[in-house]
A and B are shown apart, each in its own frame.
Chain A
Amino acid sequence: MSSEPRRSADPLSRHLTIVDAAAAIRRGETTSLALTTACLEQIARRDSSINAFITVLGESARIEAESADRDLAAGHDRGPLHGIPISLKDLFDVRGTPTTAASLVRTGHVASRDATIVTRLRQAGAVIIGKANLHEFALGTTNEESAYGPVRHPLDEGRSPGGSSGGSAASVLAGMAYASIGTDTGGSIRIPAAACGLVGLKPAAGDVPSDGVVPLSTTLDQAGPLCRSVDDASIVFDVLRGAPVRTAFEPRSLNGLRVGVLRDYFSSVLDSQIARLFEDACAALAGHGAVIEEVRLPHAADIAPIYVHIVLAEGAAHHAATLDSRADRYTPNVRARLETGRYILAEDYVRAMQGREVLRREVDAALATRTCLLLPTLPIVAPKLGASMVRIGSVEEPVRNVMLRLTQLFNITGHPALTIPCGVTQDRLPAGLQIVGAAGATADLIDTARLVEAHLSPGMSG
């Protein structure tokens, strides 16, 4: 990998990356069983309050870990994920277990086979430690509306970890897993990753297979990893897309790298501390030679209307039968929003899809002469549980709208986007820097993110 694994005094440290843990296993300092047991002990210790998991697969995880240790001892090394405990947002089918989508609508469901990405994780030797809690059917940004109760932020249990992949983020932050696989429709990997000080990757559209995954919007959904470092995200992404895990990288320099910073719509609704941390990160990159250019998108104001007409119409289509047959099993607010989607006219859905092409062309144009685009990931810190509104400066805004504001564009356009930590606020709550890459070029984006991560100060990069 591009960075040497750190020798930790504690090979069971909850802050170890996959790279570190894999190296520790191969040095004989720990085992997959020890890592898995430590994760399960952490779940036992804290999950009654954090509520990151819906299903803990303790027995099977120990069996998988023991098998991984035997294989590694026999010289059958499947790569850096071999023996590493991973959690899965409870939208991914795992054979023989329920896929609840955090909803009573799916009571009684048991998956008959693994989702393709689960098969790939198993082939890579990953240990599946459990199914993570989420905002019901992924239709939300706070993880508060779940049939299994809200997830609480491991750093402040009075706050949401973000969502909809909130259980995924909380499980990694709290040391219950080394990475998690989430889904992202409007920001649901990147939002909780930013709120929890993690790396979160939404790959380019089509990179990762979606079979065996409960959908929200087939146009906008993407599965991807939440991890502790860009190197870890690179490893997991390669496994998810079915490619050989990359371990060698061309040395690159920030000097002369052209970077576009999105302004106006993307900087007009921002917590002041988040804004300052973002500007500090940009200044750090400029100090290392990056060429920072300001970018404006002419139709940024159309992002939210385009998004809502696509996500609600497609979500309503998927849920139409169960909204008629078992509506009372949904959480009330999720049900209400899906019911609202049923009233969207076909002509307006078509308009939204046409607007999608307009936005795609504008982002492509912004990236035509630049390596990447930068913007904050989340305009606010992790919100307090129960808050429907948030104050930004002198204005009160709906929490959900604010949390989606900076991420949903890249679900609409399909560009790959990744968040890395860029510091903490005065209350020690994390902020995220979002990096956006060219269409279809997720691996290039990861390489750029690795470069950015290496040039942010230790306090910035988590």
Chain B
Amino acid sequence: MTIKTWLELATQDAERRGLPALRPLLEALARSTAALRMADWNDDATGGTGPANRTGVMPVTHEQ
């Protein structure tokens, strides 16, 4: 699942559940997940290393 798709589904679900306040937290988590996926230590099924799900450069600020 791409991060873009994940974020869409997560925010839709949060709003359905009456939790619109989660949107900024989910957006921050999405940035953090992007950074995690782009880390150079990730391997993939080709047998190589490097991120398999590049989604381009995203701001790297991490809500914790």
Contact = CB atoms under 8 A, between A and B. Distances in A.
A308 B33 CA distance: 9
B39 A302 contact: yes
B1 A345 contact: yes
A306 interface: yes
B22 A336 contact: yes
A441 interface: no
Nearest to B19: A339
Prevailing SS type, chain A contact patch: helix
Prevailing SS type, chain B contact patch: helix
A352 B29 CA distance: 13
Given A336-B21, A358-B41, A302 B62 contact: no
Contact of A337 (B6, B25, B42, B60): B25
B22 A339 contact: yes
Contacts of B64: 186, 304, 307-308, 311, 400-401, 404
A404 B60 CA distance: 16
Interface in A288-323: 299, 301-302, 304-309, 311-312
B6 A309 contact: no
A351 interface: yes
B22 A302 contact: no
Interface in B31-49: 32-33, 35-37, 39, 41-42
A270 B62 CA distance: 17
B39 A299 contact: yes
Interface string A328-356: 00001000110110011100100110110
Given A301-B60, A343-B10, 15 more contacts: A299-B41, A302-B35, A304-B32, A304-B64, A305-B62, A340-B22, A340-B26, A344-B29, A344-B33, A351-B36, A351-B39, A351-B42, A355-B39, A401-B61, A401-B64
Pick the 9 closest A-B CB pairs, nearest first.
A305-B36, A304-B62, A340-B25, A343-B10, A305-B32, A305-B35, A358-B41, A308-B64, A302-B39
